[in-house]
């Protein structure tokens, strides 16, 4: 009774022998009738004439019909048996790879396949007959009742179930169930009430945690980058008026010196004011230095791997606006020198802009990120099917604090351009020839091993 689920051989369905017997019987009846028909009606007359009496003729026709219908039914049965064998083989193959077990009404493990045994890391004998609740925290059979269906997902109170391995370690788990119909007939009172398919969520949880971590890192880098860009813009904008004011003061001082004793009294505060202006200038300079986008640590990185890590975040950005984001980066010869997180920041900025532009498109927005080897460089292109960029705006949009969005800061493209330039590339914008919207692209020199 406690045999392992996966030890069952694939069932081989065959048309039952009863078909062959019925067919043989029918054919035999036909032969007897034929002999009866062929026997002369009046043997003593010495004249051979086949019998044509109605009962014999009717018997022959009926026998023929029943033989034909038996053949048709046998063929139908044979086809169905073949289909069942194929389905059984498929189910068996699927079953081997999916951890699965069956439970009795009171939640005791009745059967367990190898994958489930491996998942919990305990000997099968130790698991069979044991309460499944011992292996899965907070599990109770009421969860099946609560589901109120014949099959489906078993909802856990805290988002997922927690499995407990033999060594005491725990892992996140999702459970799907199917009710096992009671076996009809005598002796068919099955102990098995429900079948469970188990999915170990460890990997997907780890991937989610990794994506969350990357997201947090990118947010932090974004804050620093945008501050840096603001500081650079401010420094650039303030530099000119500060220099002009310093020059005017210098000129005033010269004029005052000419005025002799009368100007002498005003010279001192003028010198102090000039000192303050110079101080303000150096403060701004210092702030700019401090907040400069840092990409000094360029390591050897693979573009496809940087994009792959980012995939969940890029997909999430697309899903938020109902835009499909396609990623297609060539993974051969894709080494470049890059600051991983800054590179990813640049890509996120371009994809976010592309998604926002494509979201306006009626009938479905789409964004495509492609990476291609082009001789000595690796080119990354982010395209969309949004409205594109007017020729007149092609340069202007890269300037800091330029935005057409109500909540926009106008820093994304200027930060991205700075990052790309720090990597030795150049960011350009044009119309996408394939998707019709904007296409932002940059190329980085490929980094090959010295030996290659």
Pick from 284, 336, 397, 443 the residue near ligand ADP by CB under 6 A: 397
User: What is the SS3 string spanning 39-61?
Assistant: CCCCHHHCCCCCCCCHHHHHHHH
R_g of the chain, CA atoms, integer Å: 41
Instruction: Give the nearest distance from C-beta 398 to ligand ADP in angstroms.
Output: 7
Would you say how long the chain is, in residues?
452
Pick from 117, 384, 425, 435 the residue near ligand ADP by CB under 6 A: 384
CB-nearer residue toward ligand ADP: 93 or 316: 316
Instruction: Give the nearest distance from C-beta 329 to ligand ADP in angstroms.
Output: 19
| Residue 8, helix vs strand vs coil | coil
Told to check if 293 binds ligand ADP by CB under 6 A, we report no
CB-nearer residue toward ligand ADP: 137 or 233: 233
**Closest Cα partner for 214 from 334, 354, 329, 340?**
340
Told to check if 410 binds ligand ADP by CB under 6 A, we report yes
Among residue numbers 298 through 357, which ones bind ligand ADP (CB under 6 A)?
353-354, 357
Told to check if 409 binds ligand ADP by CB under 6 A, we report yes
Among the residue ranges 55-63, 162-170, 281-289, 407-415, the one whose residues contact ligand ADP (CB under 6 A): 407-415
Closest residue to ligand ADP in the complex (CB)? 412
CB 380, CB 303: distance < 8 Å: yes
Strand partners, 47: none
Binding map of ligand ADP across residues 169-208, x = CB under 6 A, - = no contact: ----------------------------------------
Among the residue ranges 4-12, 68-76, 330-338, 383-391, the one whose residues contact ligand ADP (CB under 6 A): 383-391
Instruction: Give the nearest distance from C-beta 216 to ligand ADP in angstroms.
Output: 21
Beta-carbon-side half-sphere exposure of residue 7 (alpha carbons within 13 Å): 8
Pick from 386, 419, 425, 435 the residue near ligand ADP by CB under 6 A: 386
CA distance 246 to 248: 5
Q: Are strands 428-431 and 438-445 parallel, antiparallel or unpaired?
A: antiparallel
CA 249 to chain centre: 64
CA-based end-to-end distance of the chain: 62
Residue with the two structure tokens 């000039």: 274
CB-nearer residue toward ligand ADP: 269 or 433: 433
Task: Give just the sign of the alpha carbon dihedral 234, 239, 244, 246.
Answer: positive
Among residue numbers 425 through 444, which ones bind ligand ADP (CB under 6 A)?
437-438
| Residue 386, helix vs strand vs coil | coil
Among the residue ranges 32-40, 148-156, 259-267, 408-416, the one whose residues contact ligand ADP (CB under 6 A): 408-416
Instruction: Give the nearest distance from C-beta 390 to ligand ADP in angstroms.
Output: 9
Instruction: Give the nearest distance from C-beta 442 to ligand ADP in angstroms.
Output: 14
CB-nearer residue toward ligand ADP: 296 or 404: 404
Strand partners, 179: 194
CA distance 313 to 317: 6
For residues 313, 319, 323 and 324, what is the CA-based torsion angle, rounded to 10 degrees?
70
CB-nearer residue toward ligand ADP: 281 or 410: 410
Instruction: Give the nearest distance from C-beta 343 to ligand ADP in angstroms.
Output: 17
Told to check if 389 binds ligand ADP by CB under 6 A, we report yes
Q: Which backbone phi and psi does 355 adopt, to 5 degrees? A: -65, -45
Among the residue ranges 45-53, 59-67, 154-162, 398-406, the one whose residues contact ligand ADP (CB under 6 A): 398-406
CB atoms within 10 A of CB 292: 17
CB 404, CB 438: distance < 8 Å: no
Total interface residues for ligand ADP by CB under 6 A: 20
**Closest Cα partner for 227 from 397, 411, 405, 408?**
411
Told to check if 281 binds ligand ADP by CB under 6 A, we report no
Instruction: Give the nearest distance from C-beta 441 to ligand ADP in angstroms.
Output: 12
Residue with the two structure tokens 């303050």: 276
> What Cα–Cα distance (Å) separates residue 71 from each residue in 3, 21, 24, 27, 58?
39, 12, 11, 11, 20
Instruction: Give the nearest distance from C-beta 135 to ligand ADP in angstroms.
Output: 51
Instruction: Give the nearest distance from C-beta 108 to ligand ADP in angstroms.
Output: 59
Strand partners, 173: 161, 200
CB-nearer residue toward ligand ADP: 127 or 382: 382
- What is the DSSP annotation of 156-180? -TTSSEEEE-TTS-EEEEEEEEEEP
Among the residue ranges 138-146, 171-179, 269-277, 403-411, the one whose residues contact ligand ADP (CB under 6 A): 403-411
Among the residue ranges 12-20, 236-244, 250-258, 402-410, the one whose residues contact ligand ADP (CB under 6 A): 402-410
Task: Give contact residues for ligand ADP (rule: CB under 6 A).
Answer: 353-354, 357, 384, 386, 389, 397, 402-405, 408-414, 437-438
């Amino acid at each position: 009774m406690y045999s392992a689920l996966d030890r069952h051989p694939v069932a081989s369905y065959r048309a039952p022998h009863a078909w062959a017997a019925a067919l043989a019987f029918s054919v035999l009846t036909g032969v007897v009738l034929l002999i009866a028909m062929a026997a002369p009606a009046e043997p003593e007359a010495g004249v051979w004439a086949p019998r044509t009496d109605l009962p014999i003729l009717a018997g022959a026709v009926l026998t023929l019909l029943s033989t034909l219908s038996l053949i048709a039914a046998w063929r139908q049965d044979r086809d169905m048996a073949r289909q069942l064998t194929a389905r059984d083989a498929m189910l068996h193959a699927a079953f081997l790879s999916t951890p699965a077990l069956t439970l009795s009404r009171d939640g005791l493990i009745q059967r367990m396949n190898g994958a489930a045994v491996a998942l919990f890391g305990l000997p099968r004998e130790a698991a069979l007959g044991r309460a499944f609740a011992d292996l899965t925290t907070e599990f109770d059979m009421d969860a099946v009742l609560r589901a109120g269906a014949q099959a489906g997902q078993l909802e856990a109170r805290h988002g997922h179930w927690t499995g407990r391995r033999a060594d005491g370690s725990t892992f996140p788990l999702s459970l799907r169930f199917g009710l096992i119909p009671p076996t009809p007939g005598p002796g068919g009172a099955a102990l098995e009430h429900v079948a469970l398919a188990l999915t170990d969520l460890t990997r997907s949880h780890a991937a989610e945690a990794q994506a969350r971590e990357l997201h947090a890192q990118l947010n932090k880098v974004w804050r620093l980058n945008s501050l840096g860009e603001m500081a650079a813009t401010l420094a650039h904008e303030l530099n000119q008026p500060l220099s002009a004011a310093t020059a005017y003061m210098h000129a005033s001082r010269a004029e005052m010196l000419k005025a002799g004793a009368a100007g002498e009294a005003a010279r001192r505060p003028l010198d102090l004011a000039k000192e303050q202006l110079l101080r303000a200038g150096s403060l701004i300079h210092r702030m700019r230095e401090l907040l400069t986008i840092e990409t000094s640590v360029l390591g050897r990185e693979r573009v496809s791997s940087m994009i792959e890590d980012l995939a969940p975040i890029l997909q999430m950005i697309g899903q938020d606006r109902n835009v499909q984001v396609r990623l297609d980066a060539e993974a051969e010869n894709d080494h470049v020198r890059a600051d991983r997180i800054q590179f990813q920041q640049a890509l996120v900025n371009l994809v976010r802009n592309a998604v926002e532009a494509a979201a306006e498109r009626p009938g479905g927005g789409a964004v495509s990120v492609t990476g291609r080897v082009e001789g000595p460089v690796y080119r990354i292109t982010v395209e969309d099917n949004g409205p594109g960029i007017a020729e007149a705006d092609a340069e202007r949009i890269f300037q800091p604090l330029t935005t057409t969005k109500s909540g926009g800061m106008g820093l994304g493209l200027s930060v991205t351009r700075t990052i790309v330039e720090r990597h030795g590339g150049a960011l350009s914008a044009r119309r996408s020839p394939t998707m019709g919207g904007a296409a932002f692209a940059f190329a980085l020199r490929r980094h090959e091993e010295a030996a290659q």
